[in-house]
Amino acid sequence: MSEAVISCAIEDAIAVVTLARPAKLHALTPAMLDALEQQARALDADPTVRAVILTAEGERAFCVGADINEWAALQPLEMWRRWVRRGHQVFDQWARLRQPVIAALNGHAFGGGLELAVTADIRIAADQACFALPEASIATCPGWSGTQRLVTLIGPAHAKYLALTGARIGAAQALDRGLVHEVTPAAGLRERALQIARDIAGKAPVAVQLTKQLINAAAAEDQAATLEAMAGALAASTTDAAEGIRSFQERRAPHYRGT
C-alpha cells in the first residue's frame, strides 16, 4: 500500500489510519479508494486490532470529497462502474468493519469526505471543522451514501438542508444535529480519539464487536449477513456440529441430539 495516499500505525490493539494527501486536502482518488479497501480488509482480518481511528494529516481538512479531476472526464457507464459503485463498495467495507471505528475529523469534511466520516461508529470533530454536501453546486448528487446512510444518522430534514443548499455547518452545529458526538480543540483531537479507542479496546472484544454488528443490523446495515453470521456461530458451538464433522470424517451417518 502506498504511503503517498494513506498510512496505518498499530499500537496496543489500536490502529490509526491516516489519509495522507494534504496538498490536495485529501481529495479522494481511485488510488485512495483502493488503499482504503486494502486497509479495511487487513484490519478486519487482524485479530489483534480492537479499535480503529480514521483521521487525516494536518489541520485544514479531513477530506474534501472526490477529486473532480479524477471523475470529470468519465463517461456515464465508467462513472457508474469505476467511481460511484466502487466508492460504495469501499465505504460499505468501512461501515461494516467488525472493530469500532472512531473518525477524528481534523478539518473540512465535504461531499465524499463527509460520507466517509459517516461510515465510522463514533465521530469527534476539531472545533474548526466544518461539514457540507456541495455536490448540487457542480451539477451532481451525493454518490457515496450521502442520501442514504447520512439520512439514517441525522434524519431527512437535516440531510436535505445540507444536500439541497450546499451550506457549510460548523462543528457546533454538527454536534447539535447529531452528526458528531463530541467537539474538542484541534490540539487535543488525536489524544481524545486515542482515549476513546483505549476505552473500547479495554473491553471484551468479542462482545464489543457483536454489539456493533447488532446495532448495525437494527439500522439495516448488513442485516442479513449479521443474522447469518451469528446463527452460524451459534450452530458451530453445538455438540451436533462436532458430531456432524466427526460423522463426515468417519464416513458414517450422524447421530444428532439437538444440543
Q: Between 231 and 172, name the one with better pLDDT.
A: 172
pLDDT at 24: 92
pLDDT at 138: 79
What is the chain's mean pLDDT, rounded? 89
Comparing CA positions, the residue from 118, 54, 112, 114 lying closest to residue 86 is: 112
pLDDT at 3: 47
Burial class (CB in 10 A: 0-12, 13-18, 19+), 47: exposed
Q: Provide φ and ψ at 153, rounded to 5°.
A: -75, -50
Dump pLDDT digits (tens) for 14-36. 999 999 999 999 999 888 999 99
Dump pLDDT digits (tens) for 134-147. 988 878 788 888 88
Q: Which CATH number fits domain 6-201: 3.90.226.10, 3.30.930.10, 3.40.50.150, 3.30.70.100?
A: 3.90.226.10
Instruction: Count CA atoms closer than 13 A to 183's CA, side-chain side.
Output: 15
Dump pLDDT digits (tens) for 176-232. 999 999 999 999 999 999 999 999 999 999 999 999 998 988 887 766 666 666 666
Cell of 32: 485512495
Comparing CA positions, the residue from 176, 201, 39, 174 lying closest to residue 117 is: 174
Whether 160 and 185 have beta carbons less than 8 Å apart is answered as no
Q: Between 85 and 119, name the one with better pLDDT.
A: 119
Does the annotation count 59 as an active-site position? Answer: no
Comparing CA positions, the residue from 221, 246, 217, 220 lying closest to residue 231 is: 217
Does the annotation count 135 as an active-site position? Answer: yes
Q: Between 257 and 61, name the one with better pLDDT.
A: 61
* Residue type at 163 in one-letter notation: A
Mean pLDDT of 143-152: 88
Whether 177 and 154 have beta carbons less than 8 Å apart is answered as yes
Selected catalytic residue, list 115, 191, 228, 243? 115
Selected catalytic residue, list 135, 221, 243, 250? 135
Mean pLDDT of 115-133: 97
Q: Where in the chain is the domain with CATH 3.90.226.10?
A: 6-201
Residue 1, pLDDT > 50, answer no
pLDDT at 2: 45
Mean pLDDT of 30-51: 95
pLDDT at 78: 67
